[in-house]
Amino acid sequence: MDTANNEKKMAALEAVKEIKDGMTVGLGTGSTAYYAIHAVAELIGQGMNLKTVPTSEQTKQMSIELGIPMVDINSIDSLDVTIDGADEFTQNLELIKGGGGALLREKIVASITKKQIIITDSSKMVHQLGKFKVPIEVIPMACSYVMRQLPAIGGIGLVRKKKDKDYITDQGNLIIDADFGLIEHPAVLDEQLNKIVGVVEHGLFIGLAHKVIMIKDGEAITFSA
Ligand code: 5RP
Domain boundaries, given as residue ranges, for the chain: 3-125+206-224, 134-198
* 24 appears as a binding residue in the annotation: no
Q: 180-197 burial, b for 16+ CB within 10 Å, e for fewer? A: beebeebeebbebbeebe
pLDDT at position 46 over 90 = yes
* 31 appears as a binding residue in the annotation: yes
pLDDT at position 35 over 90 = yes
Please tell me the distance between residue 101's alpha carbon and the centre of ligand 1 in angstroms: 8
Q: Which fold has domain 3-125+206-224?
A: Rossmann fold (3.40.50)
150, 192 in Cβ contact below 8 A? no
Q: 69-84 burial, b for 16+ CB within 10 Å, e for fewer? A: eeeebeeeeebbbbbb
For 147-189, what is each residue's pLDDT tens digit?
999 999 999 999 999 999 999 999 999 999 999 999 999 999 9
Give yes or no: 42 in active site: no
pLDDT at residue number 1? 80
Ligand 1 pocket by Cβ (under 6 Å)? 28-32, 84-87, 97-103, 106
- Tell me which of 56, 87, 95 to substitute to probe ligand 1's pocket, judged by most ligand atoms within 8 Å of the beta carbon: 87
For 59-75, what is each residue's pLDDT tens digit?
999 999 999 999 999 99
Q: Interface pTM (ipTM) of the complex?
A: 0.98
The domain covering 134-198 belongs, at the CATH homologous superfamily level, to ACT domain (3.30.70.260)
Please tell me the distance between residue 88's alpha carbon and the centre of ligand 1 in angstroms: 9
Ligand 1: residue whose CA is nearest its atom 8 = 30
Q: Which residues pair with 212 in a beta bridge?
A: 118, 223
pLDDT at residue number 20? 98
For 80-89, what is each residue's pLDDT tens digit?
999 999 999 9
* 80 appears as a binding residue in the annotation: no
Please tell me the distance between residue 150's alpha carbon and the centre of ligand 1 in angstroms: 23
Ligand 1: residue whose CA is nearest its atom 5 = 86
- Tell me which of 8, 38, 57, 97 to substitute to probe ligand 1's pocket, judged by most ligand atoms within 8 Å of the beta carbon: 97
Ligand 1: residue whose CA is nearest its atom 6 = 99
Percentage of the chain beyond pLDDT 90 is 98
Question: What average pLDDT does the segment 109-130 reach?
Answer: 97
* 30 appears as a binding residue in the annotation: yes
Among the listed residues 14, 106, 137, 201, the single catalytic one is 106
